[in-house]
Amino acid sequence: MLRVGTRSSKLAQAQTGHVVDALRALDPTISVETVVIATNDSGVADKSRFVSGIEQQLRSQDIDVAVHSAKDVPGEPTPGLLIVAVPKREDPADMLIGAESLAALPEGATVGTASLRRAAQLRAARSDLNVEPLRGNIDTRLGKLASGEYDAIVLAAAGLARLGVGDDLARGRLDFVPAPGQGCLALQVRDIDLTTTTLIGPLSDKNSQRELTAERAAAIGLVATCHTPVGIHARIADRGDEPDEMTVRGWLGLPDGSEVIEDEVRGLASEAQLLGHLLAQRMHAAGGREILAAAEEMAA
């Protein structure tokens, strides 16, 4: 029996369902149990609140595999646990729901988002917008849009696709730099559990894992926290004669969008971690340290 742990949200369970289906497709003889874990997210100050409860169950051997949204997993590894598989990535883009583009919104329009990064990029793109916090699951957020509380909202394309919602609404793809790991799932196991590692290893997509490696390396190099608006996106080209070329794009700024730094590096996908570190170094050299420190002060 392979016990796969997930958070209780509708999206988390849908993501885990895809993983379970893929495991059964690999080997129909595998017996898989989905374990829904009610986590006390409010008790942890940073973004690890989304994964710490599941990691605790993994360490105590109540589950064998943890399924996380990769963007929620802190950059520094958890002792005793490893991310051993990254399934094929969903679209990492941010989507504007309620309008076909930012330009289509009237002056002073109210746009909702729960993400500090998205809010900063919205304000940098259009300082006239009224960017307001938006909490709740995807259904709740779409309901608030439908009730007229917001003129538009911003959601991850990956979440919409995995839940199969939002296709009937006005929507536009934003040219924002997404969060590190957005669109990726991270499958985590105990580092001594070689049997489970062998079972789930084939679920990993090589390009997706390399992209995640580069993005996490850049985030670690920048020393990004939940108080710092940072976007990192790695993309591997598929151009026939250059299938191993990777571009890593970075964005960081102040929460009010008044000051931003953007940069990108290119190189071999096989050197994903090195490219991520290089991007972080370049952004620091361009004034990133000062912006990140100022962002932390604004959040204090």
Q: Which residues pair with 110 in a beta bridge?
A: 130
In the residue annotation, 171 being an active-site residue is answered as no
Active-site residue identified among 135, 167, 168, 241: 135
Largest Cα separation within the chain, whole Å, is 58
E strands, the chain, in order: 2-7, 32-37, 65-69, 81-85, 94-97, 110-113, 130-133, 152-156, 171-173, 185-190, 230-236, 245-253, 260-268
Q: Which residues contact 55 (CB under 8 A, 6 or more apart)?
A: 66, 78, 81, 188
Catalytic residue among 7, 89, 123, 141: 141
Q: Which of 118, 123, 171, 210 is catalytic?
A: 118
Catalytic residue among 71, 210, 216, 249: 71
Catalytic, 72? Answer yes
Q: Which of the residues 10, 47, 59, 226 is marked catalytic?
A: 226
Of these residues, 72, 193, 244, 256, which one is catalytic? 72
User: Is 141 considered catalytic here?
Assistant: yes
Given the residues 7, 89, 117, 171, select the one marked as catalytic.
117
Cα 243 to chain centroid, rounded: 24
**What is the DSSP code (8-state) at residue 256?**
T
Whole-angstrom Cα distance, residue 182 to residue 171?
19
CA distances from residue 266 to 105, 182, 286 in whole angstroms, order as listed: 34, 20, 17
Task: Tell me how far CA of residue 69 lies from CA of 130, 155, 290, 299, in angstroms.
Answer: 29, 14, 29, 25
Q: What is the H or E stretch that residue 160 is in?
A: helix 157-163
Q: Is 71 annotated in the active site?
A: yes
Mark whether 184 is an active-site residue.
no
Q: What residues are labeled active site? A: 71-72, 117-118, 135, 141, 226
